Structure 1
Protein backbone atom coordinates (compact mmCIF):
# COMPACT_ATOMS: atom_id res chain seq x y z
CA UNK A 1 0.00 0.00 0.00
CA UNK A 2 1.22 3.46 -0.81
CA UNK A 3 2.10 5.81 2.01
CA UNK A 4 0.52 9.26 2.30
CA UNK A 5 3.80 10.98 1.37
CA UNK A 6 4.13 8.82 -1.78
CA UNK A 7 0.57 9.68 -2.77
CA UNK A 8 1.27 13.40 -2.28
CA UNK A 9 4.34 13.13 -4.51
CA UNK A 10 2.30 11.35 -7.19
CA UNK A 11 -0.30 14.13 -7.05
CA UNK A 12 2.42 16.76 -7.54
CA UNK A 13 3.99 14.88 -10.45
CA UNK A 14 0.67 14.35 -12.24
CA UNK A 15 -0.37 17.95 -11.62
CA UNK A 16 2.90 19.29 -13.07
CA UNK A 17 2.82 16.97 -16.09
CA UNK A 18 0.89 17.15 -19.36
CA UNK A 19 -1.08 13.98 -18.69
CA UNK A 20 -4.78 14.30 -17.84
CA UNK A 21 -5.35 10.85 -16.34
CA UNK A 22 -3.19 8.41 -14.35
CA UNK A 23 -4.07 4.90 -13.06
CA UNK A 24 -1.88 2.68 -10.85
CA UNK A 25 -2.85 -0.78 -9.56
CA UNK A 26 -0.78 -2.92 -7.19
CA UNK A 27 -1.75 -5.78 -4.83
CA UNK A 28 -5.46 -4.97 -4.74
CA UNK A 29 -5.01 -1.22 -4.39
CA UNK A 30 -6.05 1.08 -7.21
CA UNK A 31 -4.98 4.73 -7.48
CA UNK A 32 -6.72 6.81 -10.11
CA UNK A 33 -5.97 10.50 -10.77
CA UNK A 34 -7.74 12.81 -13.19
CA UNK A 35 -7.10 16.49 -13.81
CA UNK A 36 -10.10 18.76 -13.75
CA UNK A 37 -9.02 21.88 -15.64
CA UNK A 38 -12.40 23.66 -15.47
CA UNK A 39 -12.72 24.05 -11.71
CA UNK A 40 -10.48 24.24 -8.68
CA UNK A 41 -11.18 21.48 -6.16
CA UNK A 42 -9.10 20.38 -3.21
CA UNK A 43 -7.73 16.85 -3.48
CA UNK A 44 -8.91 14.50 -0.75
CA UNK A 45 -6.84 11.36 -0.22
CA UNK A 46 -8.59 8.56 1.68
CA UNK A 47 -6.14 5.83 2.70
CA UNK A 48 -7.35 2.51 4.13
CA UNK A 49 -4.88 1.27 6.74
CA UNK A 50 -4.84 -2.06 8.62
CA UNK A 51 -6.77 -0.58 11.56
CA UNK A 52 -9.45 0.84 9.18
CA UNK A 53 -8.51 4.45 9.90
CA UNK A 54 -8.96 6.99 7.12
CA UNK A 55 -6.33 9.67 6.62
CA UNK A 56 -7.28 12.73 4.61
CA UNK A 57 -4.43 14.76 3.18
CA UNK A 58 -4.86 18.52 2.86
CA UNK A 59 -4.79 20.05 -0.62
CA UNK A 60 -1.24 20.69 -1.76
CA UNK A 61 -1.74 24.07 -3.44
CA UNK A 62 -5.36 25.14 -3.85
CA UNK A 63 -4.39 28.20 -5.91
CA UNK A 64 -3.30 26.05 -8.89
CA UNK A 65 -5.43 26.25 -12.01
CA UNK A 66 -5.75 22.46 -12.27
CA UNK A 67 -6.68 20.28 -9.31
CA UNK A 68 -6.17 16.56 -9.06
CA UNK A 69 -8.87 14.31 -7.71
CA UNK A 70 -7.72 11.04 -6.33
CA UNK A 71 -9.51 7.91 -5.27
CA UNK A 72 -7.83 5.02 -3.50
CA UNK A 73 -9.91 1.87 -3.57
CA UNK A 74 -9.04 -1.21 -1.58
CA UNK A 75 -10.32 -4.42 -3.17
CA UNK A 76 -10.38 -6.39 0.07
CA UNK A 77 -13.09 -5.21 2.47
CA UNK A 78 -12.12 -4.59 6.10
CA UNK A 79 -13.91 -7.08 8.31
CA UNK A 80 -16.62 -5.09 10.13
CA UNK A 81 -16.37 -7.36 13.14
CA UNK A 82 -12.82 -6.12 13.77
CA UNK A 83 -14.09 -2.54 13.98
CA UNK A 84 -16.67 -3.51 16.60
CA UNK A 85 -14.29 -5.44 18.87
CA UNK A 86 -12.86 -3.77 21.95
CA UNK A 87 -9.14 -4.47 21.65
CA UNK A 88 -8.00 -2.02 24.34
CA UNK A 89 -7.30 -4.82 26.84
CA UNK A 90 -5.43 -6.99 24.29
CA UNK A 91 -1.70 -7.01 23.62
CA UNK A 92 -0.57 -6.74 20.00
CA UNK A 93 2.47 -8.71 18.92
CA UNK A 94 3.92 -6.72 16.01
CA UNK A 95 6.45 -7.61 13.34
CA UNK A 96 9.93 -6.34 14.21
CA UNK A 97 10.91 -6.27 10.53
CA UNK A 98 9.72 -6.39 6.94
CA UNK A 99 9.50 -9.96 5.67
CA UNK A 100 7.33 -13.00 5.02
CA UNK A 101 5.15 -14.40 7.82
CA UNK A 102 5.17 -18.16 8.43
CA UNK A 103 3.02 -19.96 11.05
CA UNK A 104 5.31 -23.01 11.23
CA UNK A 105 8.96 -23.99 10.84
CA UNK A 106 8.25 -25.90 7.61
CA UNK A 107 5.30 -26.34 5.23
CA UNK A 108 4.44 -29.81 6.59
CA UNK A 109 4.84 -28.91 10.30
CA UNK A 110 2.01 -27.82 12.61
CA UNK A 111 1.56 -24.11 13.31
CA UNK A 112 3.39 -22.80 16.38
CA UNK A 113 0.12 -21.40 17.79
CA UNK A 114 -3.58 -21.32 16.98
CA UNK A 115 -6.43 -19.19 18.26
CA UNK A 116 -7.00 -20.26 21.87
CA UNK A 117 -3.40 -21.43 22.44
CA UNK A 118 -1.99 -20.67 25.89
CA UNK A 119 1.44 -19.00 25.62
CA UNK A 120 4.25 -17.71 27.81
CA UNK A 121 6.41 -14.69 27.09
CA UNK A 122 9.13 -16.99 25.68
CA UNK A 123 6.78 -18.94 23.38
CA UNK A 124 7.60 -18.85 19.67
CA UNK A 125 4.56 -17.60 17.77
CA UNK A 126 5.81 -17.53 14.19
CA UNK A 127 8.74 -16.93 11.87
CA UNK A 128 9.37 -13.81 9.80
CA UNK A 129 11.76 -14.45 6.93
CA UNK A 130 13.87 -11.47 5.89
CA UNK A 131 16.70 -11.76 3.35
CA UNK A 132 16.84 -15.58 3.65
CA UNK A 133 17.11 -15.37 7.45
CA UNK A 134 14.34 -17.00 9.48
CA UNK A 135 13.63 -14.93 12.60
CA UNK A 136 11.59 -16.52 15.39
CA UNK A 137 9.07 -14.10 16.90
CA UNK A 138 8.37 -14.56 20.62
CA UNK A 139 5.17 -13.73 22.49
CA UNK A 140 6.48 -10.96 24.81
CA UNK A 141 3.63 -11.67 27.32
CA UNK A 142 1.93 -14.61 29.02
CA UNK A 143 -1.64 -15.17 27.86
CA UNK A 144 -3.92 -16.64 25.23
CA UNK A 145 -3.97 -16.10 21.44
CA UNK A 146 -7.23 -14.31 20.61
CA UNK A 147 -6.65 -13.65 16.91
CA UNK A 148 -4.07 -14.24 14.19
CA UNK A 149 -4.12 -11.11 12.03
CA UNK A 150 -2.07 -12.30 9.02
CA UNK A 151 -2.08 -15.34 6.76
CA UNK A 152 0.70 -17.86 6.27
CA UNK A 153 3.07 -16.68 3.52
CA UNK A 154 1.84 -13.07 3.67
CA UNK A 155 4.29 -10.17 3.41
CA UNK A 156 4.37 -8.09 6.60
CA UNK A 157 5.66 -4.59 7.30
CA UNK A 158 7.70 -3.31 10.23
CA UNK A 159 5.35 -2.66 13.15
CA UNK A 160 2.40 -4.49 11.55
CA UNK A 161 0.26 -6.31 14.14
CA UNK A 162 0.54 -10.11 13.79
CA UNK A 163 -1.34 -11.46 16.82
CA UNK A 164 -3.79 -10.26 19.45
CA UNK A 165 -3.05 -11.77 22.87
CA UNK A 166 -5.24 -11.67 25.97
CA UNK A 167 -2.67 -11.15 28.75
CA UNK A 168 -2.91 -13.14 31.99
Structure 2
Protein backbone atom coordinates (compact mmCIF):
# COMPACT_ATOMS: atom_id res chain seq x y z
CA UNK A 1 0.00 0.00 0.00
CA UNK A 2 1.16 3.47 -0.85
CA UNK A 3 2.22 5.71 2.07
CA UNK A 4 -0.06 8.47 0.79
CA UNK A 5 -3.07 6.17 1.11
CA UNK A 6 -2.03 5.32 4.66
CA UNK A 7 -1.69 9.01 5.53
CA UNK A 8 -5.17 9.65 4.10
CA UNK A 9 -6.58 6.81 6.20
CA UNK A 10 -4.92 8.18 9.35
CA UNK A 11 -6.29 11.65 8.57
CA UNK A 12 -9.75 10.13 8.05
CA UNK A 13 -9.49 8.39 11.44
CA UNK A 14 -8.45 11.58 13.24
CA UNK A 15 -11.02 13.83 11.54
CA UNK A 16 -13.88 11.42 12.26
CA UNK A 17 -12.65 10.29 15.69
CA UNK A 18 -12.48 6.63 14.64
CA UNK A 19 -10.76 4.05 16.81
CA UNK A 20 -10.26 1.51 14.03
CA UNK A 21 -10.37 1.14 10.25
CA UNK A 22 -10.32 -2.20 8.48
CA UNK A 23 -10.04 -2.18 4.67
CA UNK A 24 -9.98 -5.27 2.50
CA UNK A 25 -9.90 -5.74 -1.23
CA UNK A 26 -8.60 -8.59 -3.40
CA UNK A 27 -5.07 -7.13 -3.56
CA UNK A 28 -4.59 -5.54 -0.13
CA UNK A 29 -5.70 -5.67 3.46
CA UNK A 30 -5.10 -2.95 6.06
CA UNK A 31 -6.22 -2.58 9.67
CA UNK A 32 -5.41 0.61 11.58
CA UNK A 33 -6.12 1.07 15.30
CA UNK A 34 -5.63 4.16 17.43
CA UNK A 35 -4.23 3.53 20.90
CA UNK A 36 -4.09 7.17 21.95
CA UNK A 37 -6.79 8.55 24.21
CA UNK A 38 -9.28 6.11 25.53
CA UNK A 39 -12.73 6.97 24.35
CA UNK A 40 -15.16 7.32 27.24
CA UNK A 41 -18.74 6.57 26.35
CA UNK A 42 -21.15 8.32 28.71
CA UNK A 43 -23.67 5.94 30.21
CA UNK A 44 -27.16 6.92 31.10
CA UNK A 45 -28.86 5.72 34.24
CA UNK A 46 -30.99 2.64 33.65
CA UNK A 47 -34.68 3.44 33.42
CA UNK A 48 -36.86 2.30 36.28
CA UNK A 49 -39.12 -0.48 35.08
CA UNK A 50 -42.64 -0.63 36.44
CA UNK A 51 -44.53 -3.76 35.55
CA UNK A 52 -48.22 -4.39 35.81
CA UNK A 53 -49.27 -7.08 38.29
CA UNK A 54 -49.18 -10.53 36.74
CA UNK A 55 -52.03 -12.93 37.38
CA UNK A 56 -50.83 -16.13 39.09
CA UNK A 57 -50.54 -19.16 36.83
CA UNK A 58 -52.63 -22.13 37.88
CA UNK A 59 -50.41 -24.90 39.24
CA UNK A 60 -47.39 -22.67 39.65
CA UNK A 61 -44.80 -24.31 41.87
CA UNK A 62 -43.34 -21.18 43.42
CA UNK A 63 -44.84 -18.87 46.02
CA UNK A 64 -44.01 -15.25 45.49
CA UNK A 65 -44.16 -12.87 48.44
CA UNK A 66 -46.67 -10.08 47.90
CA UNK A 67 -45.39 -6.50 48.03
CA UNK A 68 -47.44 -5.88 51.18
CA UNK A 69 -46.17 -8.99 52.97
CA UNK A 70 -43.56 -8.26 55.62
CA UNK A 71 -40.08 -9.64 55.01
CA UNK A 72 -39.40 -12.52 57.36
CA UNK A 73 -36.25 -12.31 59.46
CA UNK A 74 -33.45 -14.43 58.08
CA UNK A 75 -30.51 -14.34 55.75
CA UNK A 76 -31.08 -12.72 52.37
CA UNK A 77 -29.83 -14.24 49.14
CA UNK A 78 -29.15 -11.18 46.98
CA UNK A 79 -28.60 -10.82 43.26
CA UNK A 80 -24.88 -10.56 42.43
CA UNK A 81 -25.65 -8.76 39.15
CA UNK A 82 -28.20 -6.86 37.11
CA UNK A 83 -30.27 -9.12 34.88
CA UNK A 84 -33.44 -11.16 34.51
CA UNK A 85 -34.41 -13.59 37.28
CA UNK A 86 -35.54 -17.14 36.43
CA UNK A 87 -36.65 -19.84 38.89
CA UNK A 88 -35.84 -22.71 36.49
CA UNK A 89 -33.37 -23.58 33.76
CA UNK A 90 -36.15 -23.46 31.15
CA UNK A 91 -39.93 -22.97 31.16
CA UNK A 92 -40.63 -26.73 31.19
CA UNK A 93 -38.26 -27.53 34.08
CA UNK A 94 -39.27 -27.49 37.75
CA UNK A 95 -38.10 -24.57 39.89
CA UNK A 96 -34.63 -24.94 41.42
CA UNK A 97 -36.11 -24.24 44.87
CA UNK A 98 -39.43 -23.22 46.38
CA UNK A 99 -40.60 -21.95 49.77
CA UNK A 100 -40.03 -24.65 52.38
CA UNK A 101 -37.04 -26.26 50.63
CA UNK A 102 -33.80 -26.73 52.53
CA UNK A 103 -30.71 -25.32 50.84
CA UNK A 104 -26.98 -25.58 51.45
CA UNK A 105 -24.23 -23.18 50.39
CA UNK A 106 -23.71 -24.88 47.01
CA UNK A 107 -27.41 -25.26 46.09
CA UNK A 108 -28.37 -23.54 42.84
CA UNK A 109 -31.34 -21.32 43.71
CA UNK A 110 -32.02 -19.52 40.42
CA UNK A 111 -30.59 -18.26 37.15
CA UNK A 112 -29.93 -14.64 36.29
CA UNK A 113 -29.61 -13.82 32.62
CA UNK A 114 -27.22 -10.97 31.91
CA UNK A 115 -26.12 -10.07 28.39
CA UNK A 116 -27.48 -13.36 26.97
CA UNK A 117 -25.44 -15.38 29.50
CA UNK A 118 -27.31 -17.54 31.99
CA UNK A 119 -25.59 -17.41 35.39
CA UNK A 120 -26.44 -20.03 38.02
CA UNK A 121 -26.77 -18.39 41.44
CA UNK A 122 -25.79 -20.43 44.52
CA UNK A 123 -27.41 -20.02 47.95
CA UNK A 124 -24.11 -19.23 49.77
CA UNK A 125 -25.88 -20.01 53.06
CA UNK A 126 -27.69 -22.97 54.61
CA UNK A 127 -31.23 -23.16 55.90
CA UNK A 128 -34.87 -23.26 54.86
CA UNK A 129 -36.27 -20.97 52.18
CA UNK A 130 -39.01 -18.91 53.85
CA UNK A 131 -39.72 -16.31 51.17
CA UNK A 132 -39.31 -15.82 47.43
CA UNK A 133 -39.12 -12.05 46.87
CA UNK A 134 -38.96 -11.86 43.06
CA UNK A 135 -41.25 -13.13 40.31
CA UNK A 136 -40.04 -15.34 37.47
CA UNK A 137 -38.90 -13.24 34.50
CA UNK A 138 -38.59 -10.06 36.58
CA UNK A 139 -35.68 -7.66 36.10
CA UNK A 140 -33.39 -7.55 39.16
CA UNK A 141 -30.73 -5.12 40.30
CA UNK A 142 -27.32 -5.74 41.86
CA UNK A 143 -27.77 -6.45 45.58
CA UNK A 144 -31.56 -6.86 45.34
CA UNK A 145 -32.81 -9.54 47.77
CA UNK A 146 -34.17 -12.60 45.94
CA UNK A 147 -34.88 -15.08 48.76
CA UNK A 148 -35.02 -15.17 52.56
CA UNK A 149 -33.43 -18.22 54.20
CA UNK A 150 -33.73 -19.00 57.91
CA UNK A 151 -31.00 -21.13 59.48
Common fold: TM-score over 0.5: yes
Counterpart secondary structure, 2:148: strand
Q: Distance in 1 between matches of 2:98 and 2:90?
A: 16
Using a 3 Å threshold, how does the CA distance of structure 1 residues 132 and 121 change in structure 2: closer, same or farther?
same
With structure 1 as the length reference, what TM-score do the two structures score? 0.51
Aligned to 1:111: 95
Deviation at 1:142, TM superposition (A): 1.1
Larger Rg: 1 or 2? Answer: 2
Segments of structure 1 that go 5 or more residues without pairing to the other structure are 1-5, 7-24, 30-76
Write 1 or 2 for the structure with the bigger share of strand. Answer: 1
Residues 110 and 121 in structure 2, CA contact (< 8 A), matched pair in contact too: yes
Alignment of 1:18-97 (within 5 A): 27=50, 78-79=67-68, 81-82=69-70, 87=73, 90-97=74-81
Residue 109 of structure 2 is aligned to residue 125 of structure 1: yes
Aligned to 2:10: none
Bigger RCO of structures 1 and 2 (CA < 8 A, at least 6 apart): 2
Q: Distance in 2 between matches of 1:107 and 1:86?
A: 28
Deviation at 1:78, TM superposition (A): 3.8
Aligned to 1:40: none
1:134 to 118, 121, 124: 118
Over the aligned positions, Cα root-mean-square deviation in angstroms equals 2.3
Q: 1:18-49 CA distances to partner (integer Å, 9 max, x unpaired)?
A: xxxxxxx96269xxxxxxxxxxxxxxxxxxxx
